[in-house]
Structure 1
């Protein structure tokens, strides 16, 4: 992430005389060469390409000096899959206005002339979304493979926020520009997010942009940013929100010098943010210790051992509340009401946990985070809207435990995976907040152990035990508790069509701090043979597709937590049969101790043993490590795409 911190000139009066509007791109710029273009050489797989796009921000004198952004887009469509680019959706908020909509579809005739179809007003619709949000939508007419679409529209706003400008999208772009004239009494922090470099980065002061009666001419800051030949942003597994990586300009309002000479600050220090969070948003909901002391079972507060007491309090709150699956509340938190209703959002529940731990005299702190579908909160300055999740940190016997009581299957010391989005902001209201890595004390693993043999009819069967802990156990417990056992078995058999489950038992289903064991009695309906048999020894959880397919990935691989998988198989051959071929043993390692994969095959007294283990030791792998991780999976797929060959022994 790059920070383009712009300190703007402070003025007093707003009256625009500089015609920034003339810089807006007008419609009507399509050539026959663009219509005859049949692919984009820098990305021949693209369904469409943006030929040019431009946003121009300025103060619109004709609209009572409100802030207006004029947008221009020109897009070439190559394939049928790219025709969805002709449907445009423009969300807007409150008193914002979307206007000056124009659109043209261009096609080429048999005589190589340009045909035009104009967008008409009745093809433009406005609909309500939610709250004060609405959306204007339209579809350009007569779209075909080979069409070029061109459209413009403007958004006029009374608000101070400047919308982010996305240089990158899901299709490539040949050229993208953002220009602006920002009045000097508005001060913004401007950030360039992503991995692309600017081709144009011109910043200047324009005198005469503002005329101040009685004082003379003022000035504006003139911005001109642009990037050429922009690749499509391609999402892939194990990534945080694309908002962290997609190339865009972000504008954070810092301050405004009003006509009276005072300065209104919008960007706060963390000291100000801490105070605002405690008194404005949380509204003293952090000081309800006495309420919970009176409402918790008295026996919990009499436990002498702090760790045991903290666990009892945690599990009581976890069992008491039902999470309504909401995150950052739309109104102030009222945990007494939530306690009475036994339901609440993330903040209701974990604030109740925080106060309960305080009532039990456990040193505790609130930790602000955001979910993985949101951008990682910026460290440059506090932006409260970056956060939408709340955890609790308890310090017990010189050890920090991060807690989350929202999910009923979470053991003490584990938080929801979706809340692992960078570091958390620990709210120490006495000494000041600080950034802190969220450490997980519970290891996550999945282990499979199968003991199989052939019966008198040479049918294969036996026991299969799946053991899981950490996040894997949370997922398994959620699935087991959300359905009946018959449906659970049916789902398992549908995922593994060659296995039939005769019986299923489980151990430690309710003991969340212990390893969960699922013990299956199984038969296989396809492994019958007379003289020869080829069998893949990896009955379940075999890798058949690589999750990493990009030639280059500029953003990191973020698993959220280290993990390991173990697979063990004991296969007893029937009397009179022998092994004719075993696969090769393999061992693979990732650089920087990032992980390891091993697989060993043995035959001892006609019992085939398979042992395989994969460790991924890091939560995050850098983009530089991507190639090695991708190849790591390629080799695992090859190592598991093997067969044990068995045949009847010759007399």
Structure 2
């Protein structure tokens, strides 16, 4: 997180309304809290926050720098909750962490309260990276049933007000945030998450400051609070929890100095476009003449626009090595990156953009962010929220989004981690705008097994797994990192009953075609005397539901639609017969959101099994969660079945 340093004038002659009195003091533990053994609203909780409070204000004793006093009281319910006694406090640059106090409370056998105080010698500080440091301490004498209580303060010269998280990975009984903000500092305040504020008070305190010769000023007094807060539980197929976890967030909008000047920090998109074009990009979007010289003349003379775009894409993709870095910490130097054949996301895709411009392909830079970060807000531009760059092109009235950073990506597909909400298309002539990032590749996997059971009870045959889109990118990525033999060994370890006799891979390097994994396989000896119970999902079987919560307040984000098909053809000897088959099944999600088809067909001594899971949407709302959960429950149940095969007496 980048901190913006702003020097306040006139501070030394300033007198201010004291918000410090609102800070919670240590020493608030009672017998009932120590006797508490479970939290009735969440019996699974290892610990529960009894009360927490942050109070932000200007501290007269600290030269009127901005101070936040923190107070926490936590009940340890189970031994696993002891980790909550270790506190880690990151801080930046000239920030100071001080006034640290901590007490562990335990109940003795005679019901008396025993206190163990945190020793100053047990407080440690270490360097992290750049100007970041971390202060750490662990409350002593932690047991099941302990209550810990600790306070600390952070004093800062910076304008940033840190987010306050009402929600965390453990439940909370009460959480409060209070603040006194000078009236000449204006912030965009956002309440994020699905929980409603119980305490939501904002008022103006007049004459909270007095500056000799300039008169008095006002303060904005804030009070936010929530009670009975459930733990935030993460689950598969979700974007960053920062999008959904309940918190209050502050973004500095402007600062008015006492002499009448105003400095704006929240800009319009017009301002942001200009800043990105001329300052951050440092004229790197005007290098098409350089890249025109780098492109083979045969590329530039290709008549078909789409083919020309594909050749440019292939050239840049194969020229560069991605250094695994995203938003650059330095100014972008794409000529230097091109010569070194290595660069970050911005180096590579800016080179792609300039090359497409040189090839006269309509193209636009598009900003987005990775899935481990919050989706960029659309309320106003916050440039720091973006850390990824892709390129949008339009050919024959069709839109493609391109990302040349990874060798395994086909034309028209961007890295999975860049699929994080809409992208901001930077049209420097008409102005930037939001647009949904689309894919020009369907994602699917077809698993097809043709197996034969012979008279010696040996089961063997051919297996082909064909994949495209993101499924193919994932497998190509694995194949690029290890030898084919190691890849096959990993496949065998994932399917312990299968031995691969021979294998072949097709279209490994041709990203625009489906990847084919072809195997000759045998199974472990089948235990078969007169009867056999055989699960038909020999290669791919769903056993775990990714959705386990009773309710989920945030949406399910698959990132892209996908199809997964399983086909089995099982040939039996003439004196064998299939006595019992499981039932066919068809499931559908509401609003054409998805479909599951399972069918069995018997033709003489051949059994055919067909199963297909279709996920038709990228995102499902929290209201659709129950249907998705039950959808997968039924899939798992339908695949936990057996075919009964008998040997017929001769």
TM category, shorter: over 0.9
Match of 2:137 in 1: 138
> Is the aligned partner of 1:422 residue 2:455?
no
Match of 1:3 in 2: none
Q: CA deviation at 1:215?
A: 4.4
Q: Distance in 1 between matches of 2:581 and 2:79?
A: 49
> Is the aligned partner of 1:376 residue 2:375?
yes
Q: Distance in 2 between matches of 1:216 and 1:559?
A: 57
Match of 1:314 in 2: 313
Q: CA deviation at 1:218?
A: 2.2
Match of 1:5 in 2: none
Q: Distance in 2 between matches of 1:387 and 1:112?
A: 55
Q: Cα deviations across residues 185-235 of structure 1 (Å, max 9, x unaligned)?
A: 000000000000000001111123111223443211100000000000000
Q: Cα deviations across residues 112-153 of structure 1 (Å, max 9, x unaligned)?
A: 010000001100001000000001000000000100000000
User: What does 1:101-250 correspond to in 2, within 5 Å?
Assistant: 101-250=100-249
Match of 1:58 in 2: 57
Q: CA deviation at 1:19?
A: 1.1
Q: Cα deviations across residues 459-488 of structure 1 (Å, max 9, x unaligned)?
A: 000001100000001111111222112111
Aligned-partner SS, 1:286: helix
Match of 2:449 in 1: 450
Q: Distance in 1 between matches of 2:262 and 2:163?
A: 24
Aligned-partner SS, 1:487: helix
Q: Distance in 2 between matches of 1:540 and 1:165?
A: 48
TM-score by length of 2: 0.98
Q: Distance in 2 between matches of 1:562 and 1:111?
A: 62
Structure 2 residues without counterparts, runs of 5 or longer = 1-8
Aligned-partner SS, 2:550: coil
Asked if 2 retains the 8 angstrom alpha-carbon contact of 1:498 and 1:526, the reply is: no
Segments ≥4 residues shifted beyond 6 Å = 11-14
Match of 2:3 in 1: none
User: What does 1:301-380 correspond to in 2, within 5 Å?
Assistant: 301-380=300-379
Aligned-partner SS, 1:554: coil
Q: CA deviation at 1:574?
A: 1.4
Asked if 2 retains the 8 angstrom alpha-carbon contact of 1:582 and 1:643, the reply is: yes
User: What does 1:373-452 correspond to in 2, within 5 Å?
Assistant: 373-452=372-451
User: What does 1:576-591 correspond to in 2, within 5 Å?
Assistant: 576-591=575-590
Match of 1:28 in 2: 27
Q: CA deviation at 1:432?
A: 0.5
Q: Cα deviations across residues 613-651 of structure 1 (Å, max 9, x unaligned)?
A: 110000000000000000000000001101111011134
Q: Distance in 2 between matches of 1:84 and 1:608?
A: 54
Aligned-partner SS, 2:263: strand
Q: How large is the RMSD of aligned CA atoms in angstroms?
A: 1.1
> Is the aligned partner of 1:537 residue 2:536?
yes
Asked if 2 retains the 8 angstrom alpha-carbon contact of 1:189 and 1:254, the reply is: yes
Q: Distance in 2 between matches of 1:16 and 1:573?
A: 92
Aligned-partner SS, 1:62: helix
> Is the aligned partner of 1:79 residue 2:87?
no
Asked if 1 retains the 8 angstrom alpha-carbon contact of 2:178 and 2:222, the reply is: yes
Q: Distance in 2 between matches of 1:404 and 1:87?
A: 42
Asked if 1 retains the 8 angstrom alpha-carbon contact of 2:214 and 2:258, the reply is: no
Deviating more after overlay: 208-217 vs 476-485: 208-217
Change (3 A) 1:390 1:586: same
User: What does 1:455-470 correspond to in 2, within 5 Å?
Assistant: 455-470=454-469
Q: CA deviation at 1:12?
A: 9.0
Aligned-partner SS, 1:599: strand
Aligned-partner SS, 1:177: strand
Aligned residues: 641
Q: CA deviation at 1:17?
A: 2.2
Asked if 2 retains the 8 angstrom alpha-carbon contact of 1:367 and 1:390, the reply is: yes
